[in-house]
Amino acid sequence: MDLMTVSALLIALLFVFLACGVWVAIALAAVGFAAMTQVTAPSGPVLATSFWQSLTGWDLTALPMFVLMGEILYRTKLSEDMFEGLAPWLSRLPGRLLHTNIVGCAIFAAVSGSSAATTATIGRIALPELQKRGYDERMTIGTLAGSGTLGLLIPPSIIMIVYATATDQSIARLFIAGVIPGLVLAGLFMGYVMIWALLFPNRMPPPEPVTTFVNRIRSTRRLIPVVLLIAGIIGSIYGGLASPTEAAVVGVFLSLLLSWWSGTLTKENARDALLSATRTSCMICFILAGAAFLTTAMGFTGIPRALAEWVGSFNLSSYQLLAALTLLYIVLGCFLDGISMVVLTTSIVIPMIQQSGFDLIWFGIYIVIVTELAQITPPVGFNLYVLQSMTGRNLFTIGYYSLPLFLLMVLEVALLAVFPELALWLPSTMLDAN
């Protein structure tokens, strides 16, 4: 059997496993075993070696630490303080308090790393407050669904750690590369809200009571804890004081300190945060291990190289290849979560990307953005499930509400392709200068 036929059968086998509800990690490992039947190498030792190497890297230690930090912060009063601190300043912009969804998610993304955690934490406070004030439900839910995805792009980001582990890239460089694209995406969201508010003023509630400058300053004091938390985590990485792994430990310590200071560090909250972080981290590591075995097995078969050569035979331009990959990830996002998408496709896609001359740090930011699209794509978008549980609305209704922000993310992908320095300028300036 030729390699193209084998690869088609393996892809079909994977989708059969996934359609049958088999765990993603087991499905990946099973397809890896099927691929190993095409070569003479023993699958048992390859499986053991792949699992061990994928789970013993020191950089991977940052993953459970950042997950635990997000779980601790989810159980604090941080989101409430952020809303009260931001509202007096954002109420003067067109769209007024709708911007608290976007800015709040952008800030919390800088201390979380998880899209679902960002959506749930900000939504827990913002949704009731916006609904109570009479803001348009479609905009309230849609902006929260889209802005929650910033948890993947603005560092620290769990999915960046996964990508860095799968492709042997620098976590610190990826973190820094995500800052400007994350801010640009937040700016696009805010611009959309302002334009919508100016076009449909009749769908906006009455203006908030005017507050004095002194009162706004007093409200801003409630942002001090989150600012200190961001400075402690991100500042230690950017300042060269700590590696991403060490900064993750700093983040856990500071989140525990913040939880104690706010009076939410109870035995029950600590236990729930630890158990939830353990479950999430084990799931991600299990997927990474299965993907590592599949990647190794595919390397033995030579399929990735053959696929790269096959795609190269079409003589696609760089933009055509990116357009094809974007469509592929959007389709995959209808069926897989973001982490599964990354670990599932890297073994096949990375050779194509390298052959086309793309920088792998840049591609890491690109793949995070297209993974963000999956977070609000029915029927598997995690953010949609979070908001469904919070609002009681139909999954596809929430997806429809978030469609404009989905399109803005597609625009961000185009901007990143046309202006790659959006992702590459800051890490080259900060890290290469040091």
Residue 419 vs residue 20, higher pLDDT:
419
303 or 250: which leads in pLDDT? 250
- Residue ranges covered by each domain of the chain: 58-433
Which of 60-64, 172-176, 406-410 is predicted least confidently? Answer: 60-64
Label residue 30 by pLDDT band (50, 70, 90).
confident
- Contact (CB, 8 A) for 416 and 163: no
Q: What is the pLDDT of residues 93-125, one digit of tens each?
A: 898 889 988 988 888 887 776 777 788 778 877
Beta-carbon contacts of 231 under 8 Å, excluding residues fewer than 6 positions away, are: none
What is the per-residue DSSP string for 384-399?
A: HHHHHHHH---HHHHH
Sign (positive or negative) of CA dihedral 364, 369, 370, 371: positive
Q: Between the ranges 200-214, 263-277, 397-411, where is the mean pLDDT highest? A: 397-411
Greater confidence (41 vs 184) lies with 184
Q: Are 94 and 141 in contact (CB under 8 A)?
A: no
291 token code pair: 């993907």
The predicted structure's pLDDT at residue 177: 92
How does pLDDT run across 305-331, given as a tens digit for each residue? 666 666 667 777 888 888 888 888 887
| Rounded CA separation 407/77 (Å) | 33
Let me know: does 153 contact 108? Beta carbons within 8 Å. Answer: no
Q: How far is CA 72 from CA 272, 294, 385, in A?
A: 9, 34, 21
CB 322 within 8 Å of CB 360: no
Measure the CA–CA gap between 150 and 153, rounded to whole angstroms.
5
pLDDT at 390 over 60: yes
* Sequence-ordered list of residues with C-beta below 8 angstroms from that of 173, at least 6 positions apart, any chain: 361, 427, 431
pLDDT tops 60 at residue 434 = no
For residue 210, give the DSSP letter.
P
Please state whether 357 falls in left (phi above 0), alpha (psi between -120 and 50) or beta: left
Amino acid making up residue 331 = V
**Closest residue by Cα to residue 247 from 59, 71, 14:** 59
Structure tokens given for 149: 């995805």
Structure confidence at residue 312 (pLDDT): 64
pLDDT digit string (tens) for 147-163? 988 888 888 788 888 88
Distance from chain centroid for Cα 326:
16
Higher pLDDT, 4 or 261: 261
Burial of 108 (0-12, 13-18, 19+ CB in 10 A): buried
- What is the distance between the alpha carbons of residues 97 and 374, in angstroms, rounded to a whole number? 26
**What confidence category does residue 333 fall into, taking pLDDT thresholds of 50, 70 and 90?**
confident
Average pLDDT, the chain: 81
pLDDT at 41 over 70: no
Is the predicted pLDDT of residue 189 greater than 90, yes or no?
yes
Higher pLDDT, 157 or 234: 157
| Confidence at 46, pLDDT banded by 50, 70, 90 | confident
Q: Specify the DSSP class assigned to residue 336.
A: S
| Distant-in-sequence, close-in-space partners of 353: CB < 8 Å, separation ≥ 6 | 360, 363
Please, which residues have CB within 8 angstroms of residue 408's CB and are 6 or more apart in sequence? 146, 185, 188, 189, 192
Which tops the pLDDT comparison, 119 or 234?
A: 119
- CA 205, CA 133: separation in Å to the nearest integer? 7
CA distances, 59 to each of 54, 278, 328 (Å) = 11, 17, 29
pLDDT of 308? 60
**Residues contacting 8, CB < 8 A, separation 6+:** none
